[in-house]
A = this chain, B = another copy of it.
Amino acid sequence: MDVLLEQAAFANEAFYLAFEAKDYSAMDSVWSASQGVMCMHPGWPALVGRGSVMQSWQAILDNPSQAQVSFFAPSFERLADTAVVVVCYEETQSAVMVATNVFVQEDERLRMVVHQAGYCDNPPVNESR
């Protein structure tokens, strides 16, 4: 795996670690600070712009009944020398989602520009368990 895809694997993991740990400050540093960002939580309309995206994460991470989320089976595709998309599954105790995570290089690391997660009716088995 080349350096850019390794960076994408790291950035994708950082996103889910921030989500699992309900760590808003870590989540804030995952997202791009210089590009326009967009986020689509399952069932939600698109949030466009850093203000509304980070406000949604603050509400989700502050919510005590928010389920723990982990990811499995990432697939990577390079979009350019500075941009990568990661598709993976997200798992809670009761549901599996499939997600598209787009990362762009910023300050020598990859930061998230787009996240979409949607419910997946017939997900593959999580072989990492």
List A residues at the B interface (Cβ < 8 Å): 35-38, 40, 42-46, 48, 75, 77-83, 85, 87, 89, 98, 100, 102, 104, 113-114, 116-124
Contacts and interface: CB of A to CB of B under 8 A. Distances in A.
B102 A102 contact: yes
Interface SS of chain A: strand
Contacts of A40: 87, 98, 100, 118, 120
Contacts of A38: 75, 77, 85, 87, 100
The number of times this chain is found in the oligomer is 2
A121 B48 CA distance: 17
Contacts of A81: 80
Nearest to A36: B77
The listed residue with most B CB atoms (<10 A of its CB), out of A79, A89, A121, is A79
Given A40-B118, A98-B116, A116-B118, 8 more contacts: A35-B77, A40-B87, A43-B119, A79-B102, A79-B104, A79-B113, A100-B102, A117-B118
Given A85-B113, A87-B114, A122 B44 contact: yes
Contacts of A123: 45
Contacts of A44: 98, 120-122
Contacts of A43: 118-122
